[in-house]
Copies of this chain bind each other. A is one copy, B any other.
Amino acid sequence: MSEKTKVGVLGATGSVGQKFIQMLENHPYFEVTEVAASERSQGKKYRDAVNWILTSPIPESVAALEVKKCEPSLDCRVVFSGLDASVAGEIETDFARAGYVVVSNSKNHRFDADVPLLIPEVNPDHLGLVKIQPYGKGAIVTNPNCSTIGLVIALKPLVDRFGLDAVNVVTMQAVSGAGYPGVATLDIYDNVVPFIGGEEAKVESEPLKILGTLLKDHIELLPLKISAQCNRVPVIDGHTETVQVSLKRKATKEEIIDAWRTFRSVPQELNLPFAPQPAIYYFDQENYPQPRKHRDLGRGMAVSVGRLRECTLFDWKFVVMSHNTARGAAGGAILCAELMKGKGML
């Protein structure tokens, strides 16, 4: 791979935009050549326009870039979109029409019939939808919601081996999921907020498409009942989820743990840069996984699972934890682009 693909970041000064820039530093496939944001920032150097909230310094090469408009006149092949949902839909379509490959973390196009809602380990074949998109060289690919991603990666080996009838999930979500400034300290410190706007609907619907079947021109949803309850807790990064499942076929505890521990998929086989090895950690310790201890495993891309045990109301219950801004947002989207690169689509 002699030359890196040029990429731009839309919404570059926002919290997801910053995470894209942080994670793309020294990336073997991609080079950030453009940063674009809202009018207020345009024309400034990135370092002057951004209120950098991450704990590592701004990558030098990006700090000096001039912030551009979010218009399809950027010098790059791919744009990663961390745009706010209020503007993302139209801007992303404009870029795709103009021939850019758009990999978006926003919700707007997730349920478009011809747009893959992609988790590279789970439904890499859904990239096939891109062929039917009306954008020529351009494309739109979307990354799911942060609390969906960890859940579905943990479910995937179970779907494959045992079939899945029902999923009950309760989330305890980190504040970084709300962006910046996001959650006020007075709202969450020493507190739990048992509500996150729109979140439960996403967790109940997105897995059906992700786990669905690619047909000629759309995805047939997986018939699966999901109930979700979403809570905000005082944690910086890392969504923890208690999960209960009913399986189609009988399984032993050992078989399920084996399904997780041996799970490998296309990103692992292609050895993509951001593909965690392993994709799933299963812990034997009874009080694991925990967000502060395990969110950075696999550079924030691995999913941690633990506490598998029988359930009186479903078949099994267990705990899933994953990094919501790495695996659940910027990192997940970058892995989507890596998959496209790996498959020769870039």
Contact = CB atoms under 8 A, between A and B. Distances in A.
Interface of A: 15, 53, 55-56, 166, 168, 170, 172, 175-176, 180-195, 204, 225-227, 229, 231, 233-236, 240, 242, 244, 286-294, 296, 306-307, 311-314, 317, 319
B194 A319 contact: yes
Q: How many copies does the complex hold?
A: 4
A343 to B, nearest CB: 32
A199 to B, nearest CB: 12
B314 A227 contact: yes
Contacts of A227: 244, 311-314, 317
A185 B242 CA distance: 23
A313 B170 CA distance: 13
Contacts of A183: 184-186
B244 A307 contact: no
A76 to B, nearest CB: 29
B231 A234 contact: no
Contacts of A187: 53, 181, 185
Closest 3 CB pairs of A and B: A181-B184, A195-B287, A191-B292
A186 B191 contact: no
Nearest to A312: B227
A54 to B, nearest CB: 8
Nearest to A189: B236
A186 B184 CA distance: 9
Contacts of A194: 240, 242, 287-290, 306-307, 319
